[in-house]
Amino acid sequence: MNDKQTDYEPPEGYRGELLERLVKDKIRTWAEIRITKGEAKYEGILLPRSLNTDDRYVTLKVDTGYNLGVFVDDDTKIEEIGYKKGKYKLPSVDAEFKEDLPNVTLLGTGGTVASRLDYRTGAVIPAFTPEELFSAVPELIPLVNLTPKTLYQILSENFQPQFWVKTAESIAKEIESGADGVIIGHGTDTMAFTGSALSYFLRNLPIPVVIVGSQRSSDRPSSDGPKNILYSARLAGYENFAEVVVCMHGGTSDSYNLIHRATRVRKMHSSRRDAFRTIGDIPLGKVDEKEITWFRDDIKPRGPREDFYLDAKIDDKVGMLYFYPGMKPDLLESMVDLGYHGVVIIGTGLAHVGTDMYTALERCQEEEIPVVMTVEPLFGYTHLRVYETGREMLARGVIEGANMLPSAAYAKLIWALGHTRDINEVKKIIQTPVAGEITPKEGPRGYLLMQGIERGIDEFLKHL
C-alpha cells in the first residue's frame, strides 16, 4: 500500500465530481476495481476516459476483455481490488543491416504503419520505432535496409507549409548521406499538398521520394498500410525513377497500388482505399505482388546526387478561396486587408468568378497580389479567353493556373512567393511547368469518371 501512496496519479481523463471522488479513494486507472450498485456488481479494470464524453461515467474493461461504461451516483460503491498496467508495444524485431540491400529511409510525419489508441481522445496515434515497424510488417526485413525516422507525429490536417520545408530538408539530408530512396509516411488528407510542395522544393531530385499512408489505420487487421509500405519500399529501393510520387491502393482489393505523380494526384473519396486518383492524366505506373509496370515515358530517371539542390524558400501568406454562387467580394478584400500575399481561387467551369468579385480582383491588382485561378471541375484547363467573364477577369490581372489542381496551385504559389513578390515573375513561375503540375495536353484517358452504367461494367465489378 505504501507505493500506492507515493506513486498515486489521478485517473486519466476523469473530470468533475467523479474525479474528486476517485482521487479521494486513491483509485487509479489500470486498477482492478469493483463497483456495487444495488443488485448490480461490476468488476474490471478502470480505463482512462476519453475527452468529450459524459463525466459521470467510468469506463471498465471486464474479464472478457469488453469495455462498458457505468454511471456513478452517490449510492455507487467503488473499490480498488488490484492493479495491472497495460504496456502497448509491438514486440521488437531485430533487423540487421545487409550490405546487398538498398538503403531506404522512412520519414514519419504521422501514423501509418503502426499506431495505438489515445485514451484522451479515443483516437489513434502513431507508434513508430523501427522495431514496431518490422514487427508489424516483417516482409520489409529482407526487402530493404529500412531506417525509420520520426519527423512529426501529427495528423495531416495539422500540417503547415513550414513542415513541408522541414520535410524537404530532411529528404535532402538523406540524399546527401546516400539513401537509395526515401519514403514519407503521411496522413492521407493532405498528402497531395505536401507532395506538390516537395515536387517544387527538391530540384534535380536524384532518387525516388514515395509518399505513403493508409486509408484504414494500421490498428486494424484489414489495414491497407502494410501493402502500401511494402510496395513503397520496393519503389524507393529498386526502381529507376526520381520523382515525388504517391503510392496507394489502386482498387478496393489488396491487389495493386498505383503510382501517382504528386502534383497530379487528388484524394477523391473520404474513406476508400483507392481514394487517390491521378487527375487529368493516367498514373505513372502500377505495382503488384509480381511486378512494377510503368505506363509513361516521361518519367524522370535517377540522376547524379551532385546536381541536386534544395529550393525551399516559401511565403506562406497565401490563402485559397472556393468560389460559390453568391460569394461577396468582402472575403477576398479582407484577405488583402489581412495582408495575404497571394490567393488561389477555385473558379467555376473554366475558372470563373461572379461579376460581384471584380472590385475585389481590382483591389488585388492594385496591390499587386497575385490571384491564381484553378477550375472547380478539377478536370480540364482554365480558359479565361472564351467568355466575357474570363476576359474581364484577365483584365483585372488574374493568373490562369492551366490544369493545375488546387492543391498543386496553392503549394506552388507559396513557393513562387518565396522567391519573388514581383507579380510578373510570380506569373511566370506559376505558368511554367515544374514537376508535372501543368501538362501540355490532356488525352482521352485523362477523364474517365465511370458512372456505373457503362457497357461491360457488370463484368468489371466482378473483379474489383
CB of 130 to other proteins, least distance (A): 17
Q: How far apart are CA 136 and CA 134, in angstroms?
A: 5
Is 268 a binding residue for other proteins by CB under 8 A? The answer is: no
Q: How far apart are CA 372 and CA 351, in angstroms?
A: 10
Q: How far apart are CA 260 and CA 2, in angstroms?
A: 60
Report how far apart, in Å, the C-alpha atoms of 313 and of each of 112, 202, 209, 344 are: 28, 11, 19, 19
Pick one of 4, 62, 367, 422: the residue that binds other proteins (CB under 8 A).
62
Fill in the per-residue mask, 149 to 168: x = in contact with other proteins (CB under 8 A), - = not in contact: --------------------
CB of 65 to other proteins, least distance (A): 3
Q: What are phi and psi of 245, to 5 degrees?
A: -130, 165
Size of the site for other proteins (CB under 8 A): 58
Pick one of 109, 218, 389, 407: the residue that binds other proteins (CB under 8 A).
218
330 is catalytic: no
Beta bridge partners of 371: 343
Based on CB atoms, which residue is closest to other proteins, 59 or 407? 59
Is 227 a binding residue for other proteins by CB under 8 A? The answer is: yes
267 is catalytic: yes
User: Secondary structure of the chain: what % helix, strand, coil (to 5)?
Assistant: 30, 25, 50
CB of 400 to other proteins, least distance (A): 36
Q: State the pairing for strand pair 57-61/318-322.
A: unpaired
Q: How far apart are CA 264 and CA 435, in angstroms?
A: 9
Is 358 a binding residue for other proteins by CB under 8 A? The answer is: no
Among 463, 446, 331, residue whose Cα is nearest residue 377: 446
Fill in the per-residue mask, 94 to 133: x = in contact with other proteins (CB under 8 A), - = not in contact: ----------------------xx----xxx---------
Is 187 a binding residue for other proteins by CB under 8 A? The answer is: no
Q: Say which of 29, 112, 278, 382 is annotated catalytic.
A: 112
Among 149, 179, 155, residue whose Cα is nearest residue 167: 149
CB of 168 to other proteins, least distance (A): 32
Fill in the per-residue mask, 228 to 247: x = in contact with other proteins (CB under 8 A), - = not in contact: --------------------
Q: Say which of 29, 105, 263, 267 is annotated catalytic.
A: 267
Q: How far apart are CA 120 and CA 261, in angstroms?
A: 37
* Under 8 Å between Cβ of 211 and 195: yes
Is 2 a binding residue for other proteins by CB under 8 A? The answer is: no
Pick one of 32, 219, 376, 442: the residue that binds other proteins (CB under 8 A).
219
Pick one of 25, 54, 176, 337: the residue that binds other proteins (CB under 8 A).
54
Q: Does an H or E element contain 8, and which?
A: none
In 51-191, where do the E strands start and end?
57-61, 67-71, 77-83, 103-108, 115-118, 123-126, 145-150, 181-185
Based on CB atoms, which residue is closest to other proteins, 2 or 222? 222
* Under 8 Å between Cβ of 176 and 239: no
* Locus of grid cell 497500388: 257
**Interacting span for other proteins (CB under 8 A) from 67-75, 338-346, 364-372, 377-385:** 67-75
167 is catalytic: no
Pick one of 252, 334, 355, 424: the residue that binds other proteins (CB under 8 A).
252
Is 334 a binding residue for other proteins by CB under 8 A? The answer is: no
Beta bridge partners of 202: 310
Pick one of 142, 221, 444, 456: the residue that binds other proteins (CB under 8 A).
221
Pick one of 19, 21, 26, 70: the residue that binds other proteins (CB under 8 A).
70
Residues for the chain: how many in total? 464
Based on CB atoms, which residue is closest to other proteins, 1 or 461? 461
Runs of H (alpha helix) within 399-446: 406-419, 423-431
Q: Say which of 36, 129, 150, 189 is annotated catalytic.
A: 189
Q: Say which of 29, 59, 188, 439 is annotated catalytic.
A: 188
Beta bridge partners of 52: none
Q: How far apart are CA 130 and CA 104, in angstroms?
A: 12
Is 142 a binding residue for other proteins by CB under 8 A? The answer is: no
Residue ranges that bind other proteins, judged by CB under 8 A: 39-42, 50, 52-54, 57, 59, 61-71, 84, 86-91, 116-117, 122-124, 136, 216, 218-223, 226-227, 251-255, 269-273, 458, 461-464
Q: Catalytic amino acids?
A: 112, 188-189, 267
